[in-house]
Amino acid sequence: MQITRVLFIALAAIAVSADRTWSQPSTADYPNHQVNLVVPFAPGGGTDILGRLIGQKLSDRFGKAFVVENRPGAGTVTAAVQVAKSAPDGYTIMMATSGTMAMNTTLYKKLPYDPGKDLVLVALVCNVPFVLVVNPALPVNSVADLVKLAKARAAPAPSITSWASCSRLRSTSR
């Protein structure tokens, strides 16, 4: 089963990533208390659901609570800062997305965390494909067709240049 394989990889990565600089004298008893699993989105979305599934499996495996803490805001920056500034003891972990680790560096002039220095990738939990979709009534069959149509309709008022994502919605057409 796919989720079992993903959970095994996550567990193995946690075990392998034990850093000797942790404040714990030994990682043999990790975890010996609750672990906070920070999800940088509101409850109910895909990342939250996956985080809760993984948290439950980790709780079952280790016999300690892995509590999901939803920390939405600022395009995952709020959660990333919390985790980056937490004690380096493995008791605050995060379901980071490509936005947290890569895209935010291009979206924000100055981040209060450095994804390459302040956060460490432990495991690839899932691959999420992104697709470009249009209304079937739109007369396009490719991205090139869509760009051509958008440029043709751009003046005076854009009518098809809207975009949306789970965390943001912007519409230039009303």
| pLDDT tens, position by position, 16-58 | 554 544 444 556 789 999 999 999 999 999 999 999 999 999 9
| Among the listed residues 100, 91, 90, 83, the one whose alpha carbon sits nearest the alpha carbon of residue 47 | 100
Question: The pTM is what?
Answer: 0.67
| pLDDT tens, position by position, 104-157 | 999 999 999 999 999 999 999 998 888 889 899 999 999 999 989 888 886 655
Ordered by where they begin, the domains of the chain are 2-118 (3.40.190.150), 131-174 (no CATH)
Q: Which two tokens stand for residue 85?
A: 């500034």
What is the C-alpha to C-alpha distance for residues 23 and 19, in angstroms, rounded to an integer?
A: 9
